[in-house]
C-alpha cells in the first residue's frame, strides 16, 4: 500500500473467502481481488447483472385502485386487519437477484513452483482504488477499475511468469442450466478471451471480454483459455456487457486493443486517478489514533474496536467503497460486489431504509458522484413510479417501490406480512438526498423540481378528508417494516407517511414558488395532522388514536421527521423532539441488524444524545460486523455480506460532529467521548460552505469557506449566535467545549 495507513488497509495472507477479497469499482464494473500468487482470482461484477426468471407478467404493480375506497372505509371504521386482503392474490415475487459475472483466473500449473513464500502482503489504497499483492520479492499483481475508461485493469509482473489464464464462470450458486461458450484467439498483443453466458429460458445473456497483453515469453491456446510461459509481465483489460442476441466481441476486442495501444498500465491508472483521487480526498477524518495501531492489518485492527484507529480506517473505507460502488446506480445491498449467485435479499436496492442510510454521507462528505448515481436510478424509474400511483391508488403522480433490481421501479415485491405496495412515503424519502445536494450547491435541479411536483400531486389525490376539523388522513398507511402491537401492517397515519407528505408538499412549493400549485400544496400540508404522543410520552409510530406501538424493531421509520428531515429538532420543536427522544430510548435492537444500530446513532446525534449515539456505534464496532475487506455484514458475527454498516458509518461520525440546514450550523452536537482529539476536513454544509473542524479536550476551531453570502444560526456547546458569512471570505470560529 502506497498511501497513508488511514487511507488503505492490508493483510498478510491471500483472501480465503470472497467476502475477504479487497474491492475496487467504478460504479459500473466491480472487482473482488483475492491476491493469491498460485491462483490469482479476480471476481468481476457489473451493476446491470440481475438474473431473469421468466416471470415478467407478475412484475407489474397490482391493479387495486377500484378496491381502495372500500378498504379506506373498513380501516376508518375500525377493521384493523382490512389491508391484509388488499392484494391481487399473487405470491411474493422477490426482485431479480444481482449476481457476479465470472472470475479471471491466473493459475500456476502443477509443479511450476509456488508464489506464497516469504514477503507476502496484499493491500488496497483507497486514494487510488488500486489493490496490490506481492510475494517472494518478485511476483506482483495490481488491479483497479478505471472510472475514466470503464475497464477492469490487472497487471502482473515476475521474473518468469508461468500460468494458465481463463475466464471462469463457475462461481457459487450459479444455475446449472447456464449456457456457457468460451472463446480464445491469439493476437499480436497476446490473446483475446471471451465468455458468453446465456441465462436459462431466453435470449438474454452477458459477455465478458479480456484482452491479455504479454511482454516476453510465449502464449499458447489451452482451451478454454491460454498458457503464458516465460513472460515478464501480463496486462489484462476486462469488460462485461449484458445483452440480447450476440455481443460484438470483435468490436469490443478492437476497443480494448486501442485502449492498450494508447495507454499502458501507468497511463490508464493516471487517467483514472484524475477522477477517483479527486473525489476521495475531498473529506478526511483524523482521530489522533496511535500510529502503531494505524499500521496494523485490518483483520487485527478489527479486534481492537475501542481504539481510534478502527473508526478512522472504517470512515476512510466507507467513503472509498461508497464512491467505488456508485456510478450507473447507487450502491446495492451488497454495494457493487458479490461472489455468489445466491445473494441475500437479491442484492436489491432496498429503499425503505437501506439505500438512504448507505448514501447518507454523500452531501456532507462531498461525494456528488454518489448523489448523481442515486438521481440516475430515480429518474430512470419515474415512469414505473407513475404506474404504481395509478394502478394501486388511482392517483396522479408517483409512488416509489420499496425494492428494485435497478431495472424495474414497479411495486411488486409484497406479501401479507410485508405489504410494501402500501408504502407511499418512498418518493419523498428517495428525493430528499437530491434536495440536500441542491442545498449544498445552491442550485435547483429542474429534474428534482419536476419529481417533487409529481410527488405533491400524488398526495393531492391520496390524502383523504378525515374530520370536520379539516384534517386529512393517510389511509392505508404503512410504517416499514413494523406493525401496531394491536393491529396489522396496513394501518392509518403512520408517522413516516405524515412527515413525508408534509415535507413533499412544502418542498415542492419551495421549488415552484409563486404558482397556484404552490398555494394549494402549502394549504394541503397545513391540513396534515400533527404527530401523536403516546401514553409513554413517546412520539407514536401511528398518529391514529388507539394504535399501540411495537418498540422492539430494527426500523425507525417513525422518526423520519428527526433524520433526515429537519421537521423535528431540539431548537425549533423542543416538545416533539423530547417525544422523539423518548421513542428512540424505547426502541429495541430486535435482530441486531447493522442498519438499525446506525440508524439509531444518526437520530441520536440529531437529538444531541452523545451517549446513545456512541452506544449504537459501539454495538457495530464491537459486534464483529466487518470482514477483512472492511466491507460489512448485516448481522453480528460477519453473517450475510451487506454494505449498510460500511457505507453508513461515515455519516454517523460526521453527524456527531457537524450538522447543517440551509439556515443553521450545529458544531459538536454529540461528540464521541472516545475520541477527545481529531480533525474533520472538507465537510460541505447545506448553506454553501466548506468546513474544517479540529478539536481537543480543551476547545475546537472551525474554519468556514463560504461560496454564498448570508446569515445562519450557529449552535455550539456554549450557546447560540447569528453568523454572517461572505462568499469568498474564510471565517474562523474558536469554540469552548467545556
- Cα–Cα distances in Å, from 111 out to 107, 114, 166, 228, 281? 12, 8, 19, 15, 45
Contact 494, 558 (CB under 8 A): yes
| Of 562, 322, 374, 599, the residue nearest 481 (C-alpha) | 599
DSSP codes, 662-694? TTEEEESSS--TT--SEEEEEEE-TTSEEEEEE
Last residue of a domain, one of 496, 516, 544: 544
**Shared-domain flag, residues 39 and 80:** no
**Shared-domain flag, residues 537 and 413:** yes
Assigned domain for 494 exists: yes
- Please report how many Cα atoms fall inside a 13 Å half-sphere around the Cα of residue 644, on the Cβ side: 34
Last residue of a domain, one of 217, 247, 281: 281
What range defines the domain where residue 373 resides?
69-94+367-544
**Shared-domain flag, residues 413 and 534:** yes
Cα–Cα distance for residue pair 611/618, rounded to 1 Å: 10
Assigned domain for 564 exists: no
Contact 333, 344 (CB under 8 A): yes
pLDDT of 738 reads: 66
DSSP codes, 465-507? E-STT--EE--SB--TT---TTS-SSBS-BHHHHHHHHHHHHH
Assigned domain for 444 exists: yes
Assigned domain for 436 exists: yes
- Cα–Cα distances in Å, from 362 out to 190, 284, 355, 444, 624? 42, 13, 12, 17, 25
Q: What is the mean pLDDT of each run of 10 residues along the chain (738 residues)?
A: 74 98 98 97 98 78 97 95 93 94 93 65 98 93 97 96 96 94 95 96 93 95 96 96 88 89 86 97 97 97 96 98 98 98 96 97 98 98 98 98 96 93 98 98 97 98 84 96 94 98 98 97 97 97 96 96 97 98 96 97 98 97 97 98 98 98 98 93 98 96 97 96 97 87
| Of 246, 230, 123, the residue nearest 181 (C-alpha) | 246
CATH number at 144 reads 2.70.98.50
- Cα–Cα distances in Å, from 311 out to 119, 186, 443, 650? 28, 48, 33, 9
Assigned domain for 527 exists: yes
Cα–Cα distance for residue pair 133/11, rounded to 1 Å: 9
pLDDT of 111 reads: 63
Neighbours of 217 (CB within 10 A): 17
Last residue of a domain, one of 544, 577, 593: 544
**Shared-domain flag, residues 118 and 88:** no
**Shared-domain flag, residues 19 and 138:** yes
**Shared-domain flag, residues 238 and 259:** yes
Encode pLDDT of 258-291 as tens digits. Answer: 888 766 899 999 999 999 999 999 999 999 999 9
Q: Read off the C-alpha cell for 190.
A: 497476446
**Shared-domain flag, residues 503 and 517:** yes
pLDDT of 59 reads: 86
Helix pair 644-657, 610-621: axis angle to 10 deg: 150
Assigned domain for 525 exists: yes
Number of domains in the chain: 2
Sign of the Cα torsion 607, 610, 615, 621 reads positive
pLDDT of 2 reads: 43
Peptide bond just before 306 cis, omega within 30 deg: no
Neighbours of 105 (CB within 10 A): 19
Three-state SS string over 514-572 comes to CCHHHHHHHHHHCCCCCCCECCCCCECCECCCCCCCCCCCCCCHHHCCCCCCCCCCCCC
**Shared-domain flag, residues 114 and 74:** no
Q: Read off the C-alpha cell for 732.
A: 474562523
- Cα–Cα distances in Å, from 732 out to 407, 426, 669, 692? 47, 40, 19, 10
Neighbours of 181 (CB within 10 A): 12
The helix/strand count (H/E) of the chain reads as 16, 29
Assigned domain for 615 exists: no
Cα–Cα distance for residue pair 6/8, rounded to 1 Å: 6
**Shared-domain flag, residues 173 and 256:** yes
Cα–Cα distance for residue pair 411/413, rounded to 1 Å: 6
**Shared-domain flag, residues 395 and 499:** yes
- Cα–Cα distances in Å, from 454 out to 396, 409, 410, 444, 513? 7, 15, 16, 16, 15
In degrees and rounded to multiples of 5, residue 546 shows phi and psi of 95, -15
**Shared-domain flag, residues 455 and 530:** yes
Rg (CA), the chain: 26
Assigned domain for 539 exists: yes
| Of 472, 442, 374, 500, the residue nearest 684 (C-alpha) | 442
CATH number at 381 reads 1.50.10.10
**Shared-domain flag, residues 272 and 165:** yes
Amino acid at each position: 500500500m502506497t498511501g497513508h495507513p488511514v487511507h488503505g488497509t492490508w493483510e498478510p495472507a491471500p483472501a480465503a473467502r470472497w467476502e475477504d477479497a479487497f474491492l475496487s469499482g467504478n460504479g459500473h464494473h466491480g472487482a473482488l481481488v483475492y491476491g493469491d500468487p498460485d491462483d490469482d482470482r479476480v471476481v468481476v461484477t457489473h451493476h446491470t447483472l440481475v438474473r431473469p426468471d421468466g416471470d415478467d407478467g407478475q412484475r407489474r404493480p397490482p391493479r387495486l385502485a377500484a378496491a381502495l375506497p372500500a378498504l379506506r372505509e373498513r380501516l376508518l371504521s375500525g377493521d384493523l386487519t382490512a389491508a391484509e386482503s388488499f392484494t391481487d392474490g399473487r405470491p411474493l415475487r422477490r426482485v431479480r437477484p444481482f449476481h457476479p459475472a465470472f472470475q479471471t483466473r491466473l493459475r500456476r500449473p502443477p509443479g511450476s513452483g509456488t508464489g506464497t513464500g516469504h514477503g507476502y502482503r496484499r493491500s488496497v489504497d483507497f486514494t487510488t482504488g488500486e489493490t496490490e499483492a506481492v510475494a517472494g520479492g518478485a511476483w506482483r499483481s495490481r488491479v483497479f477499475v478505471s472510472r475514466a475508461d470503464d475497464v477492469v485493469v490487472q497487471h502482473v509482473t515476475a521474473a518468469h511468469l508461468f500460468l494458465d489464464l481463463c475466464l471462469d464462470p463457475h462461481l457459487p450458486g450459479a444455475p446449472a442450466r447456464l449456457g456457457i461458450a468460451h472463446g480464445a484467439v491469439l493476437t499480436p498483443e497476446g490473446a483475446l478471451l471471451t465468455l458468453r453466458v446465456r441465462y436459462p429460458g431466453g435470449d438474454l445473456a452477458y459477455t465478458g471480454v479480456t484482452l491479455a497483453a504479454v511482454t516476453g515469453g510465449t502464449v499458447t491456446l489451452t482451451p478454454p483459455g491460454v498458457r503464458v510461459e516465460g513472460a515478464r509481465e501480463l496486462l489484462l483489460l476486462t469488460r462485461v456487457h449484458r445483452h440480447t442476441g450476440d455481443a460484438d466481441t470483435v468490436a469490443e476486442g478492437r476497443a480494448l486493443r486501442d485502449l492498450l495501444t494508447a495507454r499502458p498500465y501507468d497511463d490508464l491508472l493516471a487517467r483514472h486517478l484524475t477522477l477517483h483521487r479527486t473525489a476521495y480526498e475531498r473529506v478526511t477524518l483524523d482521530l489522533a489514533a496511535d500510529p502503531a495501531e494505524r499500521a496494523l492489518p485490518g483483520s487485527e485492527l478489527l479486534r481492537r474496536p475501542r481504539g481510534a484507529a478502527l473508526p478512522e480506517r472504517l470512515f476512510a473505507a466507507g467513503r472509498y467503497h461508497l464512491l467505488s460502488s456508485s456510478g450507473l446506480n447507487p450502491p446495492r445491498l451488497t454495494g457493487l460486489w458479490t461472489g455468489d449467485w445466491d445473494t441475500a435479499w437479491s442484492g436489491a436496492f432496498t429503499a425503505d431504509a437501506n439505500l438512504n442510510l448507505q448514501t447518507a454521507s454523500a452531501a456532507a462528505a462531498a461525494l456528488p458522484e454518489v448523489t448523481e448515481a442515486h438521481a440516475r436510478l430515480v429518474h430512470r424509474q419515474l415512469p414505473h413510479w407513475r404506474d404504481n400511483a395509478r394502478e394501486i391508488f388511482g392517483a396522479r403522480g408517483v409512488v416509489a417501490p420499496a425494492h428494485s433490481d435497478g431495472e424495474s421501479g414497479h411495486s411488486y415485491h409484497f406479501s401479507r406480512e410485508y405489504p410494501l405496495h402500501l408504502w407511499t412515503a418512498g418518493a419523498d424519502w428517495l428525493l430528499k438526498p437530491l434536495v440536500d445536494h441542491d442545498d449544498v450547491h445552491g442550485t435547483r435541479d429542474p429534474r428534482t423540481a419536476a419529481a417533487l411536483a409529481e410527488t405533491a400531486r400524488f398526495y393531492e389525490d391520496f390524502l383523504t378528508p378525515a374530520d370536520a376539523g379539516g384534517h386529512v388522513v393517510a389511509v392505508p398507511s404503512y410504517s416499514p417494516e413494523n406493525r401496531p402491537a394491536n393491529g396489522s401492517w396496513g394501518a392509518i397515519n403512520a408517522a413516516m407517511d405524515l412527515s413525508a407528505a408534509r415535507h413533499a408538499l412544502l418542498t415542492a412549493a419551495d421549488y415552484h414558488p409563486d404558482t397556484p400549485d404552490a398555494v394549494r400544496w402549502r394549504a394541503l400540508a397545513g391540513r396534515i395532522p400533527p404527530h401523536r404522543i403516546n401514553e409513554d410520552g413517546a412520539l407514536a409510530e401511528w398518529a391514529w388514536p388507539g394504535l399501540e406501538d411495537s418498540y422492539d424493531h430494527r426500523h425507525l421509520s417513525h422518526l423520519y421527521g428527526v433524520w433526515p428531515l429537519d421537521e423535528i429538532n431540539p431548537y425549533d420543536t423542543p416538545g416533539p423532539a423530547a417525544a422523539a427522544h423518548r421513542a428512540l430510548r424505547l426502541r429495541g435492537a430486535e435482530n441486531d441488524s447493522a442498519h438499525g444500530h446506525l440508524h439509531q446513532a444518526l437520530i441520536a446525534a440529531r437529538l444531541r444524545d452523545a451517549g446513545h449515539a456512541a452506544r449504537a456505534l459501539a454495538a457495530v464496532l464491537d459486534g464483529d460486523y466487518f470482514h477483512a475487506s472492511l466491507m460489512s455484514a448485516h448481522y453480528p458475527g460477519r453473517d450475510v455480506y451487506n454494505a449498510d454498516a460500511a457505507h453508513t458509518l461515515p455519516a454517523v461520525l460526521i453527524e456527531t460532529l457537524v450538522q447543517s440546514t440551509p439556515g443553521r450550523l450545529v458544531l459538536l452536537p454529540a461528540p464521541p467521548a472516545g475520541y477527545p482529539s481529531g480533525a474533520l476536513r472538507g465537510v460541505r454544509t447545506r448553506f454553501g460552505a466548506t468546513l474544517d473542524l479540529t478539536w481537543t479536550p480543551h476547545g475546537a476551531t472551525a474554519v468556514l469557506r463560504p461560496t454564498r453570502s448570508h446569515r445562519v444560526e450557529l449552535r455550539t456547546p456554549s450557546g447560540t449566535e447569528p453568523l454572517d458569512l461572505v462568499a469568498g471570505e474564510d471565517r474562523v470560529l474558536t469554540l469552548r467545549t467545556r
